[in-house]
Amino acid sequence: MKTSKKIFLFTAVVCLIISCSKSDSYFNDDMNITMKKGKAEPTTVTVPFKADFVGTYMYAGPEATCGEWDPDNGIMSGMVINEGVGTGTHLGKFTTYFEFCCDFVTGVYPGPTNHMVVYFTAANGDILYFSCAGVVLNGRLDYHPEDVNSYWRDPFVILGGTGRFEGATGSGYSDDYNRDSYPENSFHHWRGTITMVKGKQ
């Protein structure tokens, strides 16, 4: 009888130890699950955007991808390529590249096929992409230099980019014009806002 009690007591103690061990293990696993931290969402900031640059027209004329070119019948849908340099917030010194279709009769861009490639490249190689659309008007505004022959004040949209500009968004307006007496005869002043991932500024 005493042997039976000892066996029962021993079995009960062993079961209790196993039970506690499992409970501790479960508790520890649960703690590990709750203490794991998820990846924090990136923080974005919206700040002013300013860019001033001067461009040179590399090409302006017929291009099959832009549509029909028939000056005799008043149809002139062609390509414009403009390259430039400037300075801007979040960019420092940068280069520009514009390639877009334009209706040379009405001044509407990007023209009937909507072809447009626009980007700024910062000194470190980061690229910021844009889209823009509007119309080039003949003449000048009162505050423009005397030799301005055409101008446009149109909206632009930031489409993201590479490096610090990955995922960037934003918008603003241009205040641009062409001048007669300069070889780099395209002058641009862009103002707006840009939203960027905070750590990438």
pLDDT at 54 over 80: yes
DSSP 92: E
**First-to-final CA distance of the chain:** 81
CATH class of 44-200: mainly beta
What pLDDT sits at residue 46?
A: 96
Confidence grade of residue 123 (pLDDT, cut at 50, 70, 90) = very high
pLDDT digits (tens, 9 = 90+) for 75-93: 999 999 999 999 999 999 9
Helix (H/G/I), strand (E/B), else coil: 43: coil
With 90 as the cut, is the pLDDT of residue 33 above it? no
- The residues spanned by each domain of the chain are 1-36, 44-200
Q: Is 0.85 topped by the overall pTM?
A: no
- Provide the 8-state DSSP code for 65: G
- Run of H or E residues at 62: strand 44-62
How far apart are alpha carbons 161 and 130 in whole angstroms?
9
Peptide bond into 110 cis (omega under 30): yes
Task: Evaluate if residue 49 carries a pLDDT over 80.
Answer: yes
